Structure 1
Amino acid sequence: MAKTRRPLIICCVVTAVLLIIIIVTAITLYFTLFKPKQPKITTQSLTLESFSTNVFDLTDTNFTLGITVGIDNPNYGGFKYENSTSYVTYHGDVVAVAPVMADTIPARGQHNVGTTVLVIIKSLVTNPNFSKDMGTDTLNFTSTTTLKGKATALKIFKKKATTYSSCDISLHVLERNVTSICKSKVKF
C-alpha cells in the first residue's frame, strides 16, 4: 500500500512546486514588467489658428487655438478611453470647451490627440485679472482633460484607469503666438 501512495505523493509535490513557480513568476512579471507607468504627455503643437478683432470694440475679439498633444504610452498594455471634454480656464473661469473623441493608445506606442478651442474675449473681460494681463501682453490659460478608460495587458489583464492632464498655456497677444507646459498622471 505504501508503494501505491509514493507516485501519488511525488505527483502532488511536483504539481505544488510547479504551481508555486508559476505563481511567483506571474507576480514578479506583474510588479516589474506589467506594472502601470505614467504616460508622458507633451504638446506636439499649439497654434493660433485664427485671431479676429474689431478695432472699434476690443471685446468683439476671439481666437481659435489648435492643440495637438502627444501621449507616449510606456506600458505593455493599450489604453482605450471614452469620449471626454477638454476645458480651457482663465484664472479659474471656464472660457472654452472642446470635445475629445474616444480612441485607443496602443501598447508602448505614441498617439496624438488633436482638438481646437474657440475663446471669446467677452468671457475674459469680466475677470479682474484681464486688464493686468493685457498690460503684460500675455494671457495665461490652463487646459485640463480627463480621460477615463481601461488599460489592457496581453488581452488578459484589464484594469480601469483615468488619465489626468493639465497644460499651462500662455498667449502672447501682440506676437500672436502661444507657449505651453503640460503634465499628467494616471490613477488606477
Structure 2
Amino acid sequence: MAETDQGRPLAPVRVHPRSDDEEKALKTMNRRRKIKLCGCVTAILLLLLVIVIVILAFTVFKVKDPKVTTNEIQLTNFGVNLVQIPTPQVKINMTMVVNMSIKNDNIASIKLGNSTTTVYYRGITVADAVIPPGLVKAKKTTRLNVTIEVMADRLVSSPNLLGDVVQGEMVMNTYSIIPGRVKILFIKKHVEMKMNCTMTINISKRGIENMTCTHKVKL
C-alpha cells in the first residue's frame, strides 16, 4: 500500500493567468506609486530650493545701505563788496562746488534718479542745482561734483546779510537728496540718500570753515 502511494504522480500545478482587469489594476497601482515618488522628490527639491533662496536673500543677496559722504565744499568764485553810499549795501557773487561720494557694497549696481542740491542762507533758498541720473556700479564708489550758482538777488534780500558781512562770517546750509534703486535678482529696493551740511564762510579768507555734515540713508 505504501509503495502504491509513493509511485502515484503529483498533480500538476495550475497557474491562473491574470485577467485584463487585474493587469490594468496592477499597472495603475505602479503608476500611482511612481507619481507619488516623483511628487515627494519634487516637493523635497522645492523645499531645499526655497531654503537656499531664503538663506541667500538674507546673506549674499541682501540689499545693503549705500554709504554717502560729503567730501568737500569749495568756493570757486566769491566776491563781496560793501557799498556805503548812499546807503550801506552789499554786492555779492558766489559759486560753490559740492563734492560727494556714494559707495555701493551691493553685488548689483544702484541706479540714481534725478537729484537736487539746495543752498540756504538763514532759512532762505538762495540756490538750486540739479544732479542728472547716474549709476553706481557694484562694489564701487562714485564721486559727484555739483556746481551751484548762488542767486545774489535772493542773498541780498536777507536783512541779516549786511550784519554778517560786517562781522566777516556767513553761515550757510546745503541739502542734497538723491533717490536710487537697486535690484538683486527678484529683490528690488528703492533707496533715498540725504546729505545736510552746515558751514561758515570766512569772508576775508574767501574760504569755508567749520563744515559739519549729517547723512541719512533710507531703504
Same fold (TM over 0.5): yes
Which residue number corresponds to residue 21 of structure 1? 48
| CA distance in structure 2 between the aligned counterparts of 1:49 and 1:28, rounded to whole angstroms | 50
Q: What SS is found at the alignment partner of 1:35?
A: coil
**Mapped pair 1:37 → 2:68:** no
> Residue type of the partner of 2:33?
R
Q: Which residue of 1 aligns with 2:202?
A: 172
In the alignment, what sits opposite 1:11? 38
From 83, 103, 119, the counterpart of 2:150: 119
- Which of these residues, 66, 73, 77, is aligned with residue 108 of structure 2? 77
Q: What secondary structure is seen at the aligned counterpart in 2 of 1:36?
A: coil
Write the deviation string for residues 66-125 of structure 1: whole angstroms up to 9, x where unpaired.
111111112222111222321111232111111101111112211111111122455334
Offset at 1:128?
Answer: 5.3
Q: Is the CA contact (8 Å cut-off) linking 1:86 and 1:98 kept in structure 2?
A: yes
Residue 44 of structure 2 aligns to a residue in which SS? helix
Partner of 1:184: 215
Name the structure where strand makes up a greater proportion of residues: 1
Distance 1:20 1:107 in 2: 30
Aligned to 1:147: 178
SS at match of 1:77: coil
Q: How far apart are the structure 1 equivalents of 2:122 and 2:63?
A: 33
- TM-score normalised per structure 1: 0.83
Q: Is the CA contact 1:59–1:122 (under 8 Å) kept in the aligned structure 2?
A: no
1:47 shift after superposition: 1.3
Q: What is the distance in 1 between the residues matched to 2:111 and 2:75? A: 29
> How large is the RMSD of aligned CA atoms in angstroms?
2.5
Using the alignment, how far apart are the partners of 1:134 and 1:52 within structure 2? 11
1:47 aligned onto 2:47? no
Question: Identity over aligned residues, as a percent?
Answer: 29
1:65 CA drift (Å): 0.7
SS at match of 1:14: helix
Greater Cα radius of gyration, structure 1 or 2: 2
In the alignment, structure 1 segments of 5+ residues that lack a partner are: none
* Kept in 1: contact 2:66–2:105 (CA 8 A): yes
TM-score (norm 2): 0.72
Gap regions ≥5 residues in structure 2: 1-25
Single out whichever of 11-20 and 162-171 deviates more from structure 2.
Answer: 162-171
> What is the identity, as a one-letter code, of the residue corresponding to 2:199?
I
- Mapped partners of 1:169, 1:101: distance in 2: 25
Task: Identify the range of structure 1 (130-139 vs 162-171) with the bigger mean alpha-carbon deviation.
Answer: 130-139
* Paired residues, number: 187
Question: For each residue in 1:119-151, what CA deviation from the matched residue of structure 2 results, as whole angstroms up to 9, or x when unmatched?
Answer: 245533444554665466432222222223321
The residue identity in structure 1 corresponding to 2:201 is L
